[in-house]
Structure 1
Amino acid sequence: MMVLLWIRGVLARRFLRVAGAAAGIALTVALLAAMALFLANAGASMTARAVSAVPIDWQVQVISGADPDLVGKALSEAAPVKTVHQVRYADVAGFEARTGGTTQTTGPGQAVAFDSRYSSNFPAEIRPLSGTLDGALIAQQTAANLHVGPGDTVSIQRIGLPPAEVRIAGVVDLPDADALFQAVGLPPQAAPQAPPDNVLILPLETWRQVFDPQQKARPDTTRLQLHVRLAHEALPPDPVTAYTFVTTAQHNLEARVAGQALVADNLGSRLGAVREDALYASVLFLFLGLPGVALAVALTFAVTASGAARRRTEQALLRVRGATIKDILLLSAAEAAVAAIAGTAIGIAAASLAAIIVPGLEAVLGVNVPTLLLVASFGLLVGFIAFLYPAWRDARWATVTAVRRTVSRPRAPLWQRLWLDILLLATAGLFFWQSASTGYQIVLAPEGVAAISVDYKAFIAPALFWLGMALLTIRLSAAVIAGNGALLRMIIAPASGPLAPVVSAALSRQAGRLTIGIAMTALAISFATSTAIFNTTYNAQARIDAELTNGSDVTVFGTTDRPAGAHLVALASLPETAAAEPMQHRFAYVGADLQDLYGIDPARIGRATGLSDAYFSGASAAGTLALLAATPDGVLVSEETVQDFQLQQGDTINLRLIDARDHQYHPVAFKFIGVAREFPAAPKDSFLVANSAYVARMTGSDASEYVLMRSKADPAALARQAASALTSDPSLKVTDIGQAAHLIGSSLTAVDLGGLTTIELGFAVVMAAAAAGLMLALGFLERRRPFAILAAIGAKPRQLAAFLWSEGLLILVGGMTFGLLSGLLTAWMLVKLLTGVFDPPPEALSIPWLYLAVMLGLVAASVAAAVWSARPSAGQAAEQLRDL
């Protein structure tokens, strides 16, 4: 009965404080639950995207003399197999063709044969460009080298046997050539081998007729592979677990077929990269989410602590009337139960609502009951500690006389006397400098090793910085307020006017309470600012990464025979086109190495695509392009080529390019003027960038194989318009930046932090407004008696408003100043520490001005609402004094 009476009295007299504590617990539970759901779904999304992006899961190469049927049986026993197809390879000395009265020859290559229905189960391996798929098919680059097309005859230079001739039925592209022709059985640390430059695809019967004799004479020149698609539905949703599942199955197969077959685990390699991204998602959860959780917990404790003086007085009265410590703790536990249970229930409900509203969370809501129960338990624990610990501490250590003392000598807390805030900031700076300057990787995923780890030392710097800034905010705010100096009077002057000296003196007596309000507001604004800046920077870099992969918002890919540049006028006139620029894509030999060469107009390429300074070494993007424009025969070379050939700037490089007039490779002199680390649409390793006008003049062809297009609004809409305009030429391929973002992301960019940051940014705004408004309102609640006394002795409403608005302005200015500074520095630190997330690293932080303006506006509105609600009612001072 006593507990029920106490609860009823608490809800009647201290409802705002109980509601504030419940709100803090609800924020804690909701944020933790929503982020846990996001993390679980992020892992499942990474696995699904990674698996779908692997054209061939396993390539099992049967050793010469082994029985393919036995290998196939072992395969079905070792792993959940969905489909298996046989692929036969043969090495050739070269190809030869006679066209237009000339004879063209190539170097060594390979002839491949797929079994029936291969293309239906592995459709990504062959992309038709011209002709039909019924008969012998020739790869695009080989067709260009031999200058042949459908209907022409190609002579196959067999090894150790006379040549054999086949008629070409079609020209194709091999999008997955790197995996299709990879060397099976190499150790994980071995460098990948480049695919052959010359490839012919034959029907299986034709391949047998041509190469069965070569296989008997030179069995080392032919090989048989089994291309395997595993049952993806059998894979665990977590990337790390899926990686372990696939690699364990691979090892099982290798044990079963020892000496009979070799295995290339493409799926395991892809999941091996994804597990690193999964750990990065966990890292982002810790970096971005835990400060918000800590802030919500701190807000809960601050709300319960705001009525400490009144609580101690009530406890003293209870003890005078015979209550024991057990009785006091029982009443506090009842109050805690109301706030904790209500807050936890609201938090779980809010997380469930977020799971419905925020894309990507609903899929895992039903399978995360243990996680939600754990989060709910944490919320209940926070609530009970926030209420019970202060009650136990006061009842255990404070005497009744000391508790009822209204005036006490202020004493600086221990952390201020030890200068702990400065020590924390200095230590954070030291750890940050050590981490950021050594080029470390926060996520460690050794290739070929199942274990993966996070360098958790990287969390020390931001954690110490966050704590140090909070304590420094309290120190500086307390110094300004308690000092009652000119700075305090200047801050409150707009609200207090001529009463500034009196108001500042009154505020200086409330330094402890006000500094807590400023610190909580600053922490909330800092959390919102750092999260928003990191999210905006991340999204900007994710788009740059996707644009780098695709080339531009929309890119039309063609060939030298069927260049996309021939349709430039039509593409540039599309309604959604903001700019369209042609770009050449040729092939050039650097020594014996065949590389991609891109011909551009340096003065205009920037209209259609973004060029970051990080793409170039030793100079800015603008400076490098200006130098290329001023050097007609200039060439930009990739870092790998510079290292491989020991090049120095100014060197003359003789590149062999195919001449359109005789279809033969001829040396062309270029001047090495700079290094390109990356370039739109270029591969990651080796490539060249030159002036398109010079390439056209030296090769006799001004064909531009690619067209880069900038969209006015929606790239996907522009891609659809471009595809419709190019229906007459099906060999042209149109891709947009959204498709590239899907392909490059296993991955964090594919998972899209939008779900995580939508949750966090929403909570950040709520917490920022709550921290400012709620702390101010609770402070006013504690000071109702002084305000009522002032009103009773004749203070005018305008004079009372000066005290209220000055206090609100002080918390607002202090919280915004320290919060924005701390948030900006925290975001900069996060971007530096999480460099591995960005490719390329950002040149500068991206500031979300609109979000920050809205957030600060809501904080100001919450302060104004708290001040407005605290105004004493006119003519009711006496009644208020009797109630208080």
Structure 2
Amino acid sequence: MALFVMIIRKMVQNKWLVFSLLIGIIMSVALVSSMPIYSEAILSRMLKKDLEMSQTASGRYPGAVYSSIYLPNNKPEQHLPMFERVDRVIKEEAAPGFRLPIQALVTDLVSSSMRMKLADNPDTSSRSYFSMNVKAFTDIEDHIKLKDGKLPAAEPVDGIYEVLVTEQALNKFKTVLGAVFAVEDDKVAERMLFKPVGVIEKAKDDDLYFRNANLSDLGSSFILPYETAETLLLHEHRIPAASSGWYLVMDYSKIEYQHIESYLRTHELLSETLLKTVSLYQLKLEALAFDTIEKYLVRAENLNVLMWALNVPVLIMLAFYMFMVANLIAGRQKSEIAVLRSRGAARWQIIASYLVEGVLLCGIAVALGPFLGAMLTKLLGASNGFMEFVQRVSLPIRITETPYLYGLWAALACLVITIIPIILATRVSIVDHKQQMARLVRTPIWHKLFLDVIALALAGYGLYTFKKRLADIQSLGLGATDLNIDPLQFIVPALFIMGAGLLLLRLYPWVLRLIYWIGKKWWPPSLYATLIQVGRSSSQYQFLMIFLIMTIATGVFSASAARTINLNTEDRIRYGNGADIVMNVNWVNDAPPPEMAGPPGAGGGEAAVQAAPDQINYLEPPFEPFLELPGVEYGAKVFTKEKAYFSKDQTMAQVTLMGIDTDQFGMTTWFRDSLLDYPLNDYLNLMASETDAVLISRTVAEQKEVKAGDTIWIGWEGVSQQPFRVFGIIDYFPTFNPLPPEGLIDLNDESRAPMLIVGHLSRIQLQLALEPYQVWLKLKPDATVAEFYQGIEDSELSVQSIVNTRDDLVMAKNDPFLLALNGILTLGFVISLLVSFIGFLLYWVLSLRGRTLQNGILRAIGLSVKHLIAMLAVEQLLTSGVAVLLGIVVGNVASMLYVPNFQIVFNPNSLVPPFLVQIEEGDLQRIYVIVGLMLAVGIGILAYMLSRLRIHQALKLGED
């Protein structure tokens, strides 16, 4: 207990240092524990969105699971045990096993198809018989309403079983309610009578009870009360049973990532139960959400790798911060540790006391970290871009044992980091400690071990490996998943930042000596003293400078990475679409209608088969109504023929032909000018002068040896070729991807890359053929999509399909990877600036307190407070200011080299236009403001402390 009290008192004496260390540990634990919370939350949101999109596209409810078994006709005694086994598993294990709210659980029984006819019909010919089966559903009475008639009785009435039918079945059987049907089939031992007494329809249109929304599966069925059917089919076997099914409907809007494992496990349980009951060909298991949910295991793994990779630079920075603070604590207490060692205290006893202190701090961090991690997750969930936040539906945040486990491991790592300086300090005796204090110039351990060179070498190797991997992927037409992507590719930026910072600090003392030597005859006393102080005590500032370099460089890198990824994602969508709105329009033509499907061998009359004409003739719709739609600023006609051909001399190849009106196209399309040697409009103006001018892609020029000035012949199947002249060669053009298509290709194929030719639409229509083109539209900045769509509806324009770039951009921003990137990089940027500010103030305040005697002597020999403040301000600029400048330079260089690594997360084959590194001026201005504020506050605090300095107290302290 005495030891514990001593530790608490020691912590109180160094409260600011201990508090700073606690902040670093809590931030580290919160950051690490937020990873599983955020990963689960973002995947839960995206899973629901994907299931909603699946329902919209297919019209089927994704929360439904249908299981059924086919009952063997030759073994009716086995039907009931088989049914009961599956029924028990589904109701007692599967339904609760999915861990989702149950909206409906329907059991159905279906009989074999049986022959029947009207009981009072004496005709025995085949025309009088119908094929019918009996069906029954649990609780169907609660989900239907009667269009006519009444509900059937549970027991036979005068030996006749009453049934329900749909209007479709009533029409098929050509009967009315009250008619009696007799079953006359060899599969039925006795003659049975059925009488339709009610016509049903759905009580609610949106009722999830029914598998088929229009009840089309009941068009040939009589519907018995469920208990009656169960007795006849399973217990008494009076009607041959064919199958039984269980329709389980769950509320998928409540699904979260935590439910995925239980969903897949329960799906497997259902599959195994059905297989044990019947053979593979006699079962059916249909889970509409299964494929989507199964894919999320892979997405979750990729997202976790990405989050760790993005957070590694920030974690390294926090580790350095904690090591710096722990080193300051150890430095201030080295004298005390040395005295304890000289008086017989064992090293393990001293380490144990600091270990207890670290355990207390880490315990507090583990208790608070996951809750702060949840708050960080809310912050990340609101990010809509880098340093951009919107009002969005909050993420489903859950704090489970996993965040605490992550936080515990992070706390243990922090404990190890903070105890290392204490272990090193206990190795020093009191004599060694005094000697070290006398030696101001010491070579840091990382320079002795050449850690800077090693880190830069590893970073260089990582960069080389990435570039080689990317070149292989793009040249082979592979996807990102075709090669094993090393997650260390995202860690090498931190190695580069650390290595570059250490290398610059190795060179910095020589730069100071050069500055001192150049102006030693002219420097004023304050600057002269500062240069000597910083030059001779360079190791004293190493920790602060490398810390500031790493934090500022990490902030710059995070900002650049986020801006680059956002910019390139938007550019890729805009380039791939070509314009704000792309529409395919219906053209009137003389093409024959599609051939109607008929039975095999059906005879073909004159109307059944119509020979297609050699060439389809189209009537071009008016273009002006599209330009008059609300919000439209410009419009263009864009014709694209995927399978066109060109020839030159003896060479012929398949190309994509685009036809445009140069003026309209240039005003409508989106294009990044840096992709070509000259702006796109310059190329369009070049070809505008001649109607037969075309632009060709560089793939055409290189693969088919075509150059500017050559004449080529262009056409397509059914259209004779016509001559065109090449006016220019382009690398990129809106919507054109010059990379090989995804998929393994023949390396010996020299024409593996796509080829493009761009010509005048008017000449193509006049000399080749008039075929449908797309309508590209550019919207005004303030135009709304809703008004535009309403305008199409009001104008009654015949539109086949619409590609809306604005919608695509919104969907891209909601992608979990982009959300994670923006959120984590924003967090990394903010933490970098915050930690650098705290570390800077802490270091300088403690450093000034440690130099009280030196400053007192300077004041005693006549140096004024003004000059002393100026000397410390210059010292700050030569250390902190230079470190910040170096951090910005290192961060920019790291961004230029390593930000392109992030394209490996996406599909590199679709990354057109190429990745362009973006360094936003606004982000640098934020850094400049923070740094300026940091230096100003630092100088202000130093000035305040110096103004309160008493010379006699400082000298008395020196005597003590």
With the length of structure 1 as denominator, give the TM-score of the two structures: 0.67
Relative distance call for 1:623 and 1:774 in structure 2 (3 A) is farther
Q: How does 1:206-245 map to 2 (within 5 A)?
A: 233=252, 237=257
How far 1:28 sits from its partner (Å)? 1.6
Relative distance call for 1:247 and 1:344 in structure 2 (3 A) is closer
Measure, in 2, the Cα distance between the counterparts of 1:380 and 1:882: 42
Which residue of structure 2 lines up, in the alignment, with residue 692 of structure 1?
A: 761
Which residue of structure 1 lines up, in the alignment, with residue 775 of structure 2?
A: 706
Between stretches 785-794 and 533-542, larger displacement belongs to 785-794
Which residue of structure 2 lines up, in the alignment, with residue 552 of structure 1?
A: 579
The yes-or-no answer on 1:610 pairing with 2:670 is yes
Which residue of structure 2 lines up, in the alignment, with residue 214 of structure 1?
A: none
Which residue of structure 2 lines up, in the alignment, with residue 288 of structure 1?
A: 310
Q: How does 1:316-327 map to 2 (within 5 A)?
A: 316-321=338-343, 323-327=345-349
Question: Match for 1:857 among 915, 922, 929?
Answer: 929
Measure, in 1, the Cα distance between the counterparts of 2:268 and 2:482: 13
The yes-or-no answer on 1:811 pairing with 2:833 is no
Which residue of structure 2 lines up, in the alignment, with residue 401 of structure 1?
A: 431
The yes-or-no answer on 1:454 pairing with 2:485 is yes
The yes-or-no answer on 1:19 pairing with 2:19 is yes
The yes-or-no answer on 1:351 pairing with 2:373 is yes
Which residue of structure 2 lines up, in the alignment, with residue 107 of structure 1?
A: none
- The answer to whether the Cα contact below 8 Å between 2:714 and 2:722 also exists between their aligned partners in 1 is yes
Q: How does 1:272-421 map to 2 (within 5 A)?
A: 281-321=303-343, 323-337=345-359, 339-344=361-366, 347-359=369-381, 366-395=397-426, 397-405=427-435, 406-408=437-439, 410-413=441-444, 415-417=446-448, 419-421=450-452
Measure, in 1, the Cα distance between the counterparts of 2:683 and 2:265: 48
Residue deviations 1:727-763, cap 9 Å, x none?
3126446654332135668956664633222222222
Which residue of structure 2 lines up, in the alignment, with residue 795 of structure 1?
A: 863
Relative distance call for 1:328 and 1:676 in structure 2 (3 A) is closer
- The answer to whether the Cα contact below 8 Å between 1:788 and 1:881 also exists between their aligned partners in 2 is yes
Could you say what secondary structure the match of 2:635 adopts? Answer: strand
The yes-or-no answer on 1:522 pairing with 2:576 is no
Q: Unpaired runs of 5+ in structure 1?
A: 59-66, 84-203, 206-227, 658-664
Relative distance call for 1:761 and 1:736 in structure 2 (3 A) is farther
Could you say what secondary structure the match of 2:863 adopts? Answer: coil
Q: Aligned AA for 1:863?
A: L
Measure, in 2, the Cα distance between the counterparts of 1:272 and 1:634: 52
Relative distance call for 1:308 and 1:510 in structure 2 (3 A) is farther
Could you say what secondary structure the match of 2:470 adopts? Answer: coil
Measure, in 2, the Cα distance between the counterparts of 1:300 and 1:841: 42
Which residue of structure 2 lines up, in the alignment, with residue 181 of structure 1?
A: none
The yes-or-no answer on 1:679 pairing with 2:734 is yes
- The answer to whether the Cα contact below 8 Å between 1:584 and 1:705 also exists between their aligned partners in 2 is yes
How far 1:294 sits from its partner (Å)? 0.8
Could you say what secondary structure the match of 1:454 adopts? Answer: coil
How far 1:286 sits from its partner (Å)? 3.5
Measure, in 1, the Cα distance between the counterparts of 2:270 and 2:736: 34
Relative distance call for 1:670 and 1:19 in structure 2 (3 A) is farther
- The answer to whether the Cα contact below 8 Å between 1:277 and 1:746 also exists between their aligned partners in 2 is no
Residue deviations 1:388-435, cap 9 Å, x none?
33223332x222322244313744345424544234323432442243
Relative distance call for 1:591 and 1:318 in structure 2 (3 A) is closer
Which residue of structure 2 lines up, in the alignment, with residue 468 of structure 1?
A: 499
How far 1:313 sits from its partner (Å)? 0.2
Residue deviations 1:45-86, cap 9 Å, x none?
45445555554599xxxxxxxx9999xx99999999999xxx
Could you say what secondary structure the match of 2:872 adopts? Answer: helix
Number of equivalent positions: 710
Which residue of structure 1 lines up, in the alignment, with residue 826 of structure 2?
A: 758
Could you say what secondary structure the match of 2:634 adopts? Answer: strand
Between stretches 302-311 and 600-609, larger displacement belongs to 600-609
Q: How does 1:744-755 map to 2 (within 5 A)?
A: 747=815, 751=819, 753-755=821-823
How far 1:450 sits from its partner (Å)? 11
Measure, in 2, the Cα distance between the counterparts of 1:475 and 1:682: 47
Relative distance call for 1:319 and 1:473 in structure 2 (3 A) is same
Measure, in 1, the Cα distance between the counterparts of 2:467 and 2:551: 26
Measure, in 1, the Cα distance between the counterparts of 2:663 and 2:915: 22
Q: How does 1:436-455 map to 2 (within 5 A)?
A: 436-439=467-470, 454-455=485-486
Which residue of structure 1 lines up, in the alignment, with residue 601 of structure 2?
A: none
- The answer to whether the Cα contact below 8 Å between 2:585 and 2:774 also exists between their aligned partners in 1 is yes
Measure, in 2, the Cα distance between the counterparts of 1:262 and 1:558: 42
Which residue of structure 2 lines up, in the alignment, with residue 137 of structure 1?
A: none
Between stretches 255-264 and 697-706, larger displacement belongs to 255-264
Between stretches 1-10 and 302-311, larger displacement belongs to 1-10
- The answer to whether the Cα contact below 8 Å between 1:489 and 1:501 also exists between their aligned partners in 2 is yes
Relative distance call for 1:700 and 1:476 in structure 2 (3 A) is same
Could you say what secondary structure the match of 2:778 adopts? Answer: strand
Q: Aligned AA for 1:679?
A: P
Residue deviations 1:439-468, cap 9 Å, x none?
36799x999999995324535743542332
Q: Aligned AA for 2:918?
A: S
Which residue of structure 2 lines up, in the alignment, with residue 580 of structure 1?
A: 634
Which residue of structure 1 lines up, in the alignment, with residue 940 of structure 2?
A: 868
How far 1:881 sits from its partner (Å)? 5.7
Report the identity percentage: 17
How far 1:537 sits from its partner (Å)? 0.8
The yes-or-no answer on 1:567 pairing with 2:625 is yes
Could you say what secondary structure the match of 1:870 adopts? Answer: helix
- The answer to whether the Cα contact below 8 Å between 2:638 and 2:660 also exists between their aligned partners in 1 is yes
Relative distance call for 1:626 and 1:583 in structure 2 (3 A) is same
Relative distance call for 1:555 and 1:676 in structure 2 (3 A) is same
Q: Aligned AA for 1:610?
A: W
Measure, in 1, the Cα distance between the counterparts of 2:666 and 2:305: 35
Residue deviations 1:112-164, cap 9 Å, x none?
xxxxxxxxxxxxxxxxxxxxxxxxxxxxxxxxxxxxxxxxxxxxxxxxxxxxx
Q: Aligned AA for 1:24?
A: G
Relative distance call for 1:35 and 1:857 in structure 2 (3 A) is farther
The yes-or-no answer on 1:737 pairing with 2:805 is yes
Q: Unpaired runs of 5+ in structure 2?
A: 61-68, 73-81, 99-103, 107-215, 218-246, 384-392, 589-619, 647-652, 742-753
Q: Aligned AA for 2:321?
A: L
Measure, in 1, the Cα distance between the counterparts of 2:313 and 2:306: 11
How far 1:288 sits from its partner (Å)? 2.4
Measure, in 2, the Cα distance between the counterparts of 1:720 and 1:597: 33
Q: Aligned AA for 2:377?
A: A
Which residue of structure 1 lines up, in the alignment, with residue 173 of structure 2?
A: none
Could you say what secondary structure the match of 2:919 adopts? Answer: coil
The yes-or-no answer on 1:37 pairing with 2:37 is yes
Measure, in 2, the Cα distance between the counterparts of 1:516 and 1:489: 27
Measure, in 1, the Cα distance between the counterparts of 2:394 and 2:284: 38
Could you say what secondary structure the match of 1:485 adopts? Answer: helix
Q: How does 1:828-843 map to 2 (within 5 A)?
A: 828-836=896-904, 837=906, 839-840=911-912, 842=914
The yes-or-no answer on 1:426 pairing with 2:457 is yes
- The answer to whether the Cα contact below 8 Å between 2:693 and 2:725 also exists between their aligned partners in 1 is yes
Relative distance call for 1:341 and 1:778 in structure 2 (3 A) is farther
The yes-or-no answer on 1:726 pairing with 2:799 is no
Measure, in 2, the Cα distance between the counterparts of 1:274 and 1:339: 37
How far 1:788 sits from its partner (Å)? 3.5
With the length of structure 2 as denominator, give the TM-score of the two structures: 0.62
Measure, in 1, the Cα distance between the counterparts of 2:25 and 2:545: 20
